[in-house]
A = this chain, B = another copy of it.
Amino acid sequence: MTKKRPLILVTNDDGITAPGIRTLISIMNTIGDVLVVAPDSPQSAKGHAITISETLYCDKTSIDTDAPQEEYSCSGTPVDCVKMATHEILKRKPDLCVSGINHGSNAAINVIYSGTMSAAVEAGIEGIPAIGFSLLDYSMKADFSHCKEFILTIVNQVFENGLSKGVVLNVNIPKLQASQIKGIKVCRQANAHWEEEFDKRTSPMGREYYWLTGKFVNEDKGEDTDEWALANGYVSVVPTQFDLTAHHYIQELNTWNLNE
């Protein structure tokens, strides 16, 4: 008798046809039964947005002919896709949710803007073990071939050890050849931010408009951060939580005069 194959939900934020998710689907097909519910268009930087003031479409589709996975294309955000999968499409809770492979880094503060990671976080909120995968290459022609072994190692370790409730994994993979990667490193999120510059232009109708552009600034020199690991040839794994309480600060706030 064969061991029961896990049920794996796959989503992303670059859209259902992006090379990153097609790679992730093919890797997941080797170990489980795969359901894909992913955005019908790019949804990068949508954070934890959900669609409450508009309607949603979610249509069965087939991108890879002859491939075993079931696929749905959804007009909503990555978080909408996870909600749609778990509350509308699936009869039972999946054993794992993987999101990605994102085209571009979700290390450091990028975790908070990322649709890829927000999808994984949403799965975590719903009690599903979840991992977001990102490659440090924004190109739609990025080479994902070295990602497979690291993804399988991390997924297998999640199945073997289980993930504690309230924790999801944020995995970033350097743009290097497999032989150049030194290993997998558990890290904390580097303390970084974006310095924005708005590119101001004038429309043909004479109205001013802006493009958001920015520069990533990492002031965190710690060697235990994801940014350090990635810059030094490691795959970074950051345990990420959605209890946003700054527990260490509660005692301090209780010394304030809030009730006088």
Contact = CB atoms under 8 A, between A and B. Distances in A.
A213 B112 CA distance: 24
A149 to B, nearest CB: 12
Copies in the complex: 2
A59 B208 CA distance: 8
B244 A198 contact: no
Given A210-B56, A210-B84, A211-B56, A242 B50 contact: no
Interface in A85-141: 86-88, 109, 111-113, 118, 121, 125-126
Contacts of A249: 164, 167, 239, 241
* Residue of A87, A112, A247 most packed against chain B (CB within 10 A): A112
Interface of A: 42, 44-53, 55-59, 76-77, 79-80, 83-84, 86-88, 109, 111-113, 118, 121, 125-126, 153-154, 157, 160-161, 164, 166-167, 170, 183-184, 186-189, 191, 193, 195-198, 200-201, 207-212, 237-247, 249-250, 252-254, 256-259
